[in-house]
Amino acid sequence: MRLAGPLRIVVLVVSVGVTWIVVSILLGGPGSGFPRIQQLFTSPESSVTAAPRARKYKCGLPQPCPEEHLAFRVVSGAANVIGPKICLEDKMLMSSVKDNVGRGLNIALVNGPLPPDTGVSGELIEARAFDMWAGDVNDLLKFIRPLHEGTLVFVASYDDPAT
């Protein structure tokens, strides 16, 4: 049974091959300057951190608004689960968190632009919700009729805004 000699050689070659693979993985491969071993000995403060966070602009917009412009975001609700949000100049006018939204149309009235030399105002006049399914349409008409020129009207829907 002369099989033991060649079997030992095969086991030795396989062991050397597996060891070579493990060492090359740990050392990071040829010509890489042993980055994985270096990571073990360096402090976390000196290591490269993740990419910096993206800047946050007003109302969560992807880019800033030009000067003399109002930043706003209107997000209607999703069915009757997620309520609508109306944001103006990074100030939440209507949201489920503020508990001032309801089923139907959610309307926020805002002071519009002032004379050119003073810029824009953007102050909230009033915010209300109108149930257009079971509510009275006359309430909405009474709310909208006294509007004057220059008033900004933001409308977001929630649940079922139609009759």
Which DSSP string corresponds to 126-155?
A: EEEEE-TTTS-HHHHHHHHTT--TT-EEEE
- DSSP, collapsed to helix, strand or coil, labels residue 62 as coil
The larger pLDDT score, comparing residue 1 to residue 150, is at 150
Q: Which pLDDT belongs to residue 56?
A: 82
Between CA 47 and CA 37 the distance in angstroms is: 13
The larger pLDDT score, comparing residue 43 to residue 148, is at 148
Contact 92, 100 (CB under 8 A): no
Between CA 77 and CA 43 the distance in angstroms is: 47
Condensed to tens digits (0 to 9), the pLDDT of residues 3-54 reads: 888 888 999 999 998 998 887 777 765 555 556 665 666 666 655 566 676 6
Does the pTM of the predicted model rise above 0.85? Answer: no
Non-local (6+) Cβ contacts of 142 within 8 A are none
Q: What percent of the chain has pLDDT over 70?
A: 77
Residue 113 tokens read as 């632009």
**Residue 28: C-alpha distances to residues 21, 45, 48, 50, 102 (Å):** 11, 22, 17, 21, 59
Condensed to tens digits (0 to 9), the pLDDT of residues 87-125 reads: 998 899 999 898 888 888 999 999 876 655 555 577 888
Q: Where are the alpha helices (DSSP H) in the chain?
A: 4-27, 35-41, 137-144
Between CA 63 and CA 66 the distance in angstroms is: 10
Condensed to tens digits (0 to 9), the pLDDT of residues 42-55 reads: 666 655 566 676 67
